[in-house]
A and B are shown apart, each in its own frame.
Chain A
Amino acid sequence: MDIAFIFAIQIIYAIAVLTLISLGLALVFGMMRIINLAHGEFITLGGYATIMATKAGFNIWVAMLVMAPIVVGVWSLFIERVIIRFLYGRLIYTMLATWGLSLAMTGGLTMIFGNTTEGVALDIGSIPIGVYQVNGYNLFLIFSVAVTSILVAWVLYGTVYGRIARAAMQNRDMTQAFGYPVKRISMLTFVVGGMLAGLAGGILAPTTGVSPFSGATWIADAFITVITGGTAPLLGTLASAGILGVVSTSTVLIFSSAAGGIALLIAALILLRLFPLGISSIWQRSGK
Chain B
Amino acid sequence: MNINRRNFLIGTGSAVGALMAVPYISHAQSKPIRLGMLLDTSGPFSAYGIPMEKASQLAVESINEGGGLLGREVEIVFRDTQSDMANYTTFANQMVRQGLDVFHGGILSASREAIRQTLRQREIPYFYNVLYEGGVCDGNTFVTGTTPAQQVEALIPHAMNAYGAKKLYVLAANYNYGQITAAWVKRYAEQNGATDVEVEFFDLSDGEFGPAAIAKIQESGSDLVVSVLVGAAQLSFYSEWLGSGMLANPDVHLISTTFGVGNEHKVLPAAQSDGMLVANNWAPQNDSAENKAFLEAWAAKHGNTDDIHEIAVSQYQGILLWAHAVEQAGSVERSAITQVLESGASIVGPSGKVEMDPATHHCKLDIHVMEIQNQQMNIVKSFAQREPVDTQSVCNLTENPDSNVQYEITL
Residues of A within 8 A of B (CB): 3, 6-7, 9-10, 13-14, 17, 110, 114-121, 123-126, 131-138, 206-209, 211, 213-214, 217, 249, 252-253, 256-258, 260-261
- Known contacts A121-B269, A135-B245; 9 additional CB pairs below 8 A are A6-B211, A115-B42, A119-B268, A134-B211, A135-B244, A138-B243, A207-B243, A214-B232, A261-B206
Assess whether B210 is in contact with A13, with CB atoms less than 8 Å apart: yes
- Cα separation A117 to B264 with both chains bound (whole Å): 8
CB distance from B374 to the nearest CB of A (A): 13
Q: Is B385 an interface residue (CB 8 A)?
A: no
Q: Cβ of B267: which chain A residues have Cβ within 8 Å of it?
A: 116-119, 209
Q: Which of A17, A132, A135 contacts B218 (CB 8 A)?
A: A132
- Cα separation A136 to B233 with both chains bound (whole Å): 21
Assess whether B243 is in contact with A136, with CB atoms less than 8 Å apart: yes
Q: Which of A3, A209, A257, A261 contacts B232 (CB 8 A)?
A: A209
Knowing A208-B233, A209-B232 are in contact, say whether A217-B207 is a contact too (CB < 8 A).
yes
Considering only CB atoms, which chain A residue lies closest to B199 in the complex? A256
Assess whether A217 is in contact with B269, with CB atoms less than 8 Å apart: no
Can you give 16 A-B contacts (C-beta < 8 A)? A9-B210, A13-B210, A17-B208, A115-B46, A116-B267, A119-B269, A121-B269, A121-B270, A133-B244, A133-B249, A135-B211, A135-B244, A138-B210, A207-B239, A208-B207, A249-B212
Assess whether A137 is in contact with B211, with CB atoms less than 8 Å apart: no
Assess whether B215 is in contact with A3, with CB atoms less than 8 Å apart: yes
Assess whether B201 is in contact with A207, with CB atoms less than 8 Å apart: no
- Cα separation A6 to B47 with both chains bound (whole Å): 37
Select the residue from B201, B207, B235 with max chain A CB neighbours within 10 A: B207
Select the residue from A13, A115, A132, A252 with max chain B CB neighbours within 10 A: A115
Considering only CB atoms, which chain B residue lies closest to A125 in the complex? B245
Q: Which of B202, B236, B272 contacts A257 (CB 8 A)?
A: B202
CB interface residues, B 255-269, toward A, < 8 Å: 262-264, 267-269
Select the residue from A110, A132, A209 with max chain B CB neighbours within 10 A: A209
Assess whether A115 is in contact with B239, with CB atoms less than 8 Å apart: no
Q: Is B176 an interface residue (CB 8 A)?
A: no
- Cα separation A134 to B210 with both chains bound (whole Å): 9
Q: Is B343 an interface residue (CB 8 A)?
A: no
Assess whether B203 is in contact with A258, with CB atoms less than 8 Å apart: yes
Knowing A6-B212, A9-B211, A134-B244 are in contact, say whether A115-B200 is a contact too (CB < 8 A).
no
CB distance from A247 to the nearest CB of B (A): 15
Q: Cβ of A253: which chain B residues have Cβ within 8 Å of it?
A: 212
Q: Cβ of B263: which chain A residues have Cβ within 8 Å of it?
A: 116
- Cα separation A118 to B268 with both chains bound (whole Å): 6
- Cα separation A135 to B211 with both chains bound (whole Å): 7
Assess whether A209 is in contact with B239, with CB atoms less than 8 Å apart: yes
- Cα separation A254 to B37 with both chains bound (whole Å): 46
Assess whether B210 is in contact with A116, with CB atoms less than 8 Å apart: no
Q: Which of B236, B242, B264 contacts A123 (CB 8 A)?
A: B242
Q: Cβ of B239: which chain A residues have Cβ within 8 Å of it?
A: 119, 206-209
- Cα separation A136 to B243 with both chains bound (whole Å): 7
Q: Cβ of A206: which chain B residues have Cβ within 8 Å of it?
A: 239
Assess whether A256 is in contact with B210, with CB atoms less than 8 Å apart: no
Knowing A135-B214, A258-B201 are in contact, say whether A121-B244 is a contact too (CB < 8 A).
no
Q: Cβ of B270: which chain A residues have Cβ within 8 Å of it?
A: 121
CB distance from B150 to the nearest CB of A (A): 26
- Cα separation A134 to B245 with both chains bound (whole Å): 8
Q: Is B297 an interface residue (CB 8 A)?
A: no
Assess whether A132 is in contact with B215, with CB atoms less than 8 Å apart: yes
Assess whether B244 is in contact with A119, with CB atoms less than 8 Å apart: no
Going nearest first, the 7 A-B pairs with the smallest beta carbon separation are A121-B269, A126-B245, A135-B243, A10-B212, A135-B244, A208-B236, A6-B215
CB distance from B259 to the nearest CB of A (A): 12
- Cα separation A217 to B208 with both chains bound (whole Å): 11
- Cα separation A244 to B219 with both chains bound (whole Å): 26
CB distance from A143 to the nearest CB of B (A): 14
Assess whether B202 is in contact with A137, with CB atoms less than 8 Å apart: no
CB distance from A252 to the nearest CB of B (A): 7
Q: Is B117 an interface residue (CB 8 A)?
A: no
Select the residue from B208, B210, B213, B239 with max chain A CB neighbours within 10 A: B210
Q: Is B295 an interface residue (CB 8 A)?
A: no
Knowing A116-B47, A257-B201 are in contact, say whether A126-B244 is a contact too (CB < 8 A).
yes
Q: Which of B208, B243, B264, B268 contacts A126 (CB 8 A)?
A: B243
CB distance from B92 to the nearest CB of A (A): 23
CB distance from A16 to the nearest CB of B (A): 10
CB distance from B385 to the nearest CB of A (A): 33
Q: Cβ of A136: which chain B residues have Cβ within 8 Å of it?
A: 243
Q: Is B174 an interface residue (CB 8 A)?
A: yes
CB distance from A218 to the nearest CB of B (A): 8
- Cα separation A69 to B240 with both chains bound (whole Å): 24
- Cα separation A205 to B215 with both chains bound (whole Å): 22
Q: Which of A3, A123, A261 contacts B203 (CB 8 A)?
A: A261
- Cα separation A261 to B208 with both chains bound (whole Å): 11
- Cα separation A121 to B264 with both chains bound (whole Å): 14
- Cα separation A59 to B218 with both chains bound (whole Å): 33
- Cα separation A121 to B375 with both chains bound (whole Å): 14
Q: Cβ of A133: which chain B residues have Cβ within 8 Å of it?
A: 214, 218, 244-246, 249
Considering only CB atoms, which chain B residue lies closest to A10 in the complex? B212
Q: Which of B203, B215, B232 contacts A213 (CB 8 A)?
A: B232
Q: Is B271 an interface residue (CB 8 A)?
A: yes
Q: Cβ of B272: which chain A residues have Cβ within 8 Å of it?
A: 119, 121
- Cα separation A209 to B269 with both chains bound (whole Å): 10
Q: Which of A7, A123, A135, A208 contacts B271 (CB 8 A)?
A: A123
Select the residue from B174, B212, B236, B246 with max chain A CB neighbours within 10 A: B212
Assess whether B47 is in contact with A115, with CB atoms less than 8 Å apart: yes
Q: Is B401 an interface residue (CB 8 A)?
A: no
Knowing A117-B264, A120-B269, A252-B212 are in contact, say whether A213-B44 is a contact too (CB < 8 A).
yes
Considering only CB atoms, which chain B residue lies closest to A209 in the complex? B235
Q: Cβ of A115: which chain B residues have Cβ within 8 Å of it?
A: 42-44, 46-47
Q: Is B205 an interface residue (CB 8 A)?
A: yes
CB distance from A116 to the nearest CB of B (A): 5
Q: Cβ of B249: which chain A residues have Cβ within 8 Å of it?
A: 133
Assess whether A131 is in contact with B218, with CB atoms less than 8 Å apart: yes
- Interface bits B268-279 vs A (CB < 8 Å: 1, else 0): 111110000000
